[in-house]
Amino acid sequence: MERFTSSLLFFSSSCLIVFSMLLTFSGPTGIVVHAAPPVIWQPTVDMDRVMSSPDYGMQVFLFWREEVANRDVTVVEQAGFRWVKQQFAWRDIEGAGKGEWAWENPDRMMRQIESQNLKVIARLDNQPQWAAPDTELPEISPPDNLQDYYDYVYAIASRYKGRIQAYQIWNEPNLAREWGGRAPNPAEYVELLKVGYKAVKDADPKAIVISAGLAPTTRYDDVAMPDSYFVQGMYDAGATPYFDALGVHAAGFKSSPDIDPAQAAIDPILTNGDLDDSELSRVYAFRHVEDIRDLMVKNGDADKKVVILEFGWTVEPRPESPYRWHAVTHEEQAAYFTGAYEYAIENWQPWIGVMNLIYVANPDWHMDMEETYWSIVYPYYPELRVAPAYEHLKHMTKIPAVE
Please state, in angstroms and as integers, the Cα–Cα distance from residue 302 to each residue in 86, 247, 349, 352, 391, following that order.
27, 14, 12, 11, 35
Could you tell me which residue, 3 or 266, shows the higher pLDDT?
266
Please state, in angstroms and as integers, the Cα–Cα distance from residue 59 to each residue in 81, 85, 334, 347, following that order.
11, 5, 17, 24
Could you tell me which residue, 146 or 13, shows the higher pLDDT?
146
Q: Which pTM value belongs to this model?
A: 0.91
Could you tell me which residue, 381 or 249, shows the higher pLDDT?
249
Q: How far apart are CA 369 and CA 366, in angstroms?
A: 6
Which pLDDT score, from 0 to 100, does residue 132 have?
A: 98
- 116, 77 contact by CB (below 8 A): yes
Break the chain into its structural domains and give their ranges.
1-40, 42-395
pLDDT class for 261, splitting at 50, 70, 90? Answer: very high
Which pLDDT score, from 0 to 100, does residue 38 have?
A: 78
Tell me the per-residue pLDDT of 165-195, one tens digit each, with 9 for 90 and over: 999 999 999 999 999 999 999 999 999 999 9
Which pLDDT score, from 0 to 100, does residue 37 have?
A: 72
Mean pLDDT of 6-17: 32
Give 55-89 as a DSSP string: EEEEE---SS-HHHHHHHHHHHHHTT--EEEEE--
Residue 29, pLDDT above cutoff 80: no
Residue 71, pLDDT above cutoff 80: yes
> Percent of the chain, pLDDT > 90?
89
Which pLDDT score, from 0 to 100, does residue 403 have?
A: 75
pLDDT class for 35, splitting at 50, 70, 90? Answer: low
Which pLDDT score, from 0 to 100, does residue 19 have?
A: 30
Quick one: 42-395 is in which CATH superfamily? Glycosidases (3.20.20.80)
Q: Using CB atoms within 10 A of its CB, is residue 148 exposed (0-12), middle (13-18) or buried (19+)? A: buried
